[in-house]
Chain A
Amino acid sequence: MTHTLASTLASYLKTIDQLEPQSLGGRQRTLSDQDSQFLRASLMRQQRFNNAMIVVAVVLLCALFALAAFLLLLQRNSVNAVAVISGTTFSAMLGIIAFLRRLWLDKSAMDLLLFACQGLSPSEVANLVTSFYFKATEPRRAVRT
């Protein structure tokens, strides 16, 4: 999960009082459709941003490939130049693909959560998002049982 998706979910959890421990005398907040609508609006805003980022990353990937092909043809007689261009291009492409993969995972999670917002009750949405957020953001560790 990227930092931006985590922030989006954290702002929702904050509105439903699930981002901090419950007080030792408090009551659970009652949820309404407005809470689910807030989450839906936040996720859609985040999804639009992520879609734009995917387009930028794909364009960058294509441009990098074209530039590399052009430079390789231009420097085809120099073994050293070909090695440097190939290595640099490969490294840059790996970075972009890793970034795209994270965006794609976020997109899948957001699609699922948006679908849940439509079909589930506010209480069930809150349970789902809270479980997802804490399981996805907490590093794996041995916990006392």
Chain B
Amino acid sequence: MLVDPVPVSRRVVKPAECVLAFGIPTTRESFERALTVSGTDYAKQFRGGWSQYYALLAKDVENVESPLREEGVTIVHDLTLEGFAALFERPFPAIILFSHWKEDAVEFSDGMASAGAVLAAVPEQFDGILDLCVCHPMALVAALHKQRPGCLVKYLPVEAKPHFWMYFYKALFLHLKQSDVSYLTAIQEVACAFLDTAQAGETLSR
């Protein structure tokens, strides 16, 4: 494997070098399968079935997917734990895991995987960014920090609404396409832009 001399924290990253992988269902077929798989949790929290899931989540995934594919982002649906491990075979500098966290486990399309199992899927030599778009995965983050020192982990210490993050990533990849910045800088700049917009909205509403 070729090693880039510039660390990923300072390397310019383009959308085509990133992968966005969904562990939660994004299609009707995967949603209905998730209802039957024991251990999966996220789809079962939607009491109104597919019509509710589509209106509140899958529609946003559809809206965001086409522009992201046009930017060159690799999108993976129905991610299994095995599929997650396979993502590290091609050295993407940034891997975004978009999924659900429950009781120290991450949801994949084939069931929940413990923090230890997810850690085992990340190669020891991986020196890219693992962007965990799952809520408060503190056990996994602690294990990654300790046992995968080369891996930079971005995580959410609070609960996150998926529709917000879908549009956040849309803005992030647009920013990465338009600017020659690192992934971490792009996250910081887009987050600041979102906060400024939110504050401007609050000021206007007063």
**Residues of A bordering B, CB below 8 Å:** 16, 18, 20-28, 126-127, 130-131, 133-135, 138, 143-145
Chain A interface secondary structure, helix, strand, loop or mixed?
Answer: loop
Chain B interface secondary structure, helix, strand, loop or mixed?
Answer: mixed
A126 smallest CB distance to B (angstroms): 5
Restricting to B61-103, which residues have a CB under 8 Å from any CB of A? 62, 98-102
Give every chain B residue within 8 A of A138 (Cβ-Cβ): 51, 54-55
Residue of A with least CB distance to B60: A21
Q: Is there contact, CB below 8 Å, between B51 and A135?
A: yes
Is B194 part of the contact surface with A, judged by Cβ < 8 Å?
no
Is B175 part of the contact surface with A, judged by Cβ < 8 Å?
no
Q: Is there contact, CB below 8 Å, between A21 and B161?
A: yes
Give every chain A residue within 8 A of B100 (Cβ-Cβ): 24-25
Q: Is there contact, CB below 8 Å, between B45 and A25?
A: no
A80 smallest CB distance to B (angstroms): 52
**Which of B10-18, B131-139, B180-188 forms part of the interface with chain A?**
B131-139
Q: Is there contact, CB below 8 Å, between A25 and B159?
A: yes
Give every chain B residue within 8 A of A27 (Cβ-Cβ): 45, 102
Q: Is there contact, CB below 8 Å, between B136 and A25?
A: yes
Give every chain B residue within 8 A of A21 (Cβ-Cβ): 56-57, 161-163
Is B58 part of the contact surface with A, judged by Cβ < 8 Å?
yes
Give every chain B residue within 8 A of A127 (Cβ-Cβ): 47-48
9 closest Cβ contacts across the A-B interface?
A25-B135, A130-B48, A23-B159, A21-B56, A134-B52, A130-B47, A134-B51, A25-B101, A22-B45
